[in-house]
Amino acid sequence: MRPAALLVAAATLVVTSACQQPALAAEEVVEAPAAVRTAKEGAGLKTAIFAGGCFWGVEAVFSHTKGVRSAVSGYHGGTERQADYKLVSSGVTDHAEAVKVTYDPRVIRYDQLLRIFFSVVADPTQLNRQGPDRGAHYRSALIPLSAEQSAVARTYLAQLKKAGLWDRPIVTRIERAQAFYPAEAYHQDFAAKNPRHSYIQRWDAPKVAALKRLYPGVYRSEFQRD
């Protein structure tokens, strides 16, 4: 086999082993309440980071959200040397699979992104796991990148805890912003490039469908590619 073919085969092997565990029951969709504190972020594009399990689904949902200009899958919480898929997925690093979202607050506010996140992206009661994926690298976390985002995130988490939408305690954390490292190229826009992948069809396509059903006003049919 020629070197180029070897590289393709290796990448294919990694992709087919990513974010795949034995099938479980479908993830719950919850219509989270509108935030009592709306974000006031001013003009210009803003960026925030979300960790909510396998980054394919997090990226897919936000890439179908109006006002989102970019959704990049990557790693947050560890070092640059640790920012490697094989290392992260082994559970030996401090990284979480995360997505850096760049958005226009004139179209979609940070508090609205939080509502989407808790409604269709991540179950905030699952500790160090999401759906079929287990490990601290699949933890649910908010990583605000401004004082306003941090205040809105704290207020919204407190609001959700009082709302009693889930039977179990909310364990989603707010983490201090550290360096974000983009994931390997084959992870970017993964749901758009691989719509028939078994994991995408089983776990992530339903999240996008739930976004369309619950929040049709902010749903965008086309996938915002980077």
Which residues are catalytic, by number? 54
Query: 219 - beta bridge partners?
Result: 65
Output the CA–CA distances (angstroms, integers) from residue 88 to 3, 12, 78, 80, 177, in the order listed.
26, 18, 9, 11, 18
Q: Distance between CA atoms of 49 and 169, rounded to whole angstroms?
A: 23
The amino acid at 133 = D
Q: Distance between CA atoms of 203 and 182, rounded to whole angstroms?
A: 22
Task: Report H helices in 64-183.
Answer: 85-90, 110-116, 147-163
